[in-house]
Structure 1
Amino acid sequence: MKTKFLKTAAAVMAMVMCLGMTAFAAPSPSGSDFVVGGISRAVDADGNDISGMLEVTELPNEYADVAAQLRTAEGLRAAMGSDYNENMMVVDIVDVKIVGDASQVKFPVTITFQVNGVTVSTKGMILHYTGSEWEKIPTTMGEGTMTGTFSSLSPVAFVVDKTTVTGGTASPKTSAQSAAAVALLGLLAVTAACGMKKRSMER
């Protein structure tokens, strides 16, 4: 009986260790965890609201190669310069254009994009394609927003440091506590089961 109990306990502990490892190894964020929506606010150089005059669309095919290069580690490193680190990732690339009379828009314009998945604590940056290279736009992070000021409009890329994204990873302390709780419950269950079986046999 004692040998069987020890074998069962060992099996439960092995299962608990696997659960603990799963808890620690939370999945890293990917580009699909972020959604770039429309524009929540936009003002021109005179402070006029031009939100209704701007449109966010899918990237035209003519920029496909440029976008593909930026999504590589080498391309992103070249664009980010000293701000680059290996945890940076491009979450989306879109085109921004003026709808209507462009003469009514006075540059520079400040645009707040809706980017679900980011927070004020997320490190991120907007990149703007000038036609020959990607320029870094000083970016203000918000709750679900990224804001930058542009001297012209064309393809825009959104970059974040995935290690600063909150909500997607479990803390080691919480994971350890969860694993310990599961282990305790598992051992109690095994002890209770063996005890019931022993009493049954004695009868």
Structure 2
Amino acid sequence: MHDLDELLRDYDRARAYTDELWRDLTPDEVTWRPHEDSSAIGWHLGHQAHVAHFMIRNLTAAEPSPDPELDGIMDSANPEKFRGALPTVERLTAFRDTVAERVHARIGAIAAGRVGAPSQLAVVAHHLLIALINHEYQHDQWIGEVRTGALGHPLPPDPRSDRLRRIDGYLVLTAPA
């Protein structure tokens, strides 16, 4: 299904923009917290992947977490002080990459019709991907604010897409017609 392939490219574009926001930072900058009730950039990176995993798992295919020890740390329902220590940058990167591979595999199976109820799941996958993309950009906004305001690094240019808009300061992917 062409629409899902296009949305997967948009998902990759959003993840690539996230990478531009943090890959040039030091591990200390990635794990630094502006204050005790604030999350580090690294938490946002793990949380983005955590949400993607749980949405794919709960809406399209039950599968175990790629890193169950991170589930409580990356869950925004847990107050910051109860989340625990952040994993290393390498572990966060591996977690993000594994989740993205699973998103691609599951959405690819849906697009190819290799699932039960393929037409119904295609509708779910369409909306799910838009939500994942916009969630990625939602947390990119905070990462960018800390990157520039607290850490003094410039922002990369916004990703380019005819479907991206800024709404209330946030990048948002609008739904394709």
TM-score (norm 2): 0.27
Higher helix proportion, which one?
A: 2
Structure 1 or 2, whichever has the larger Rg, is 1
TM-score where L is the length of structure 1:
0.24
Structure number having the greater strand percentage: 1
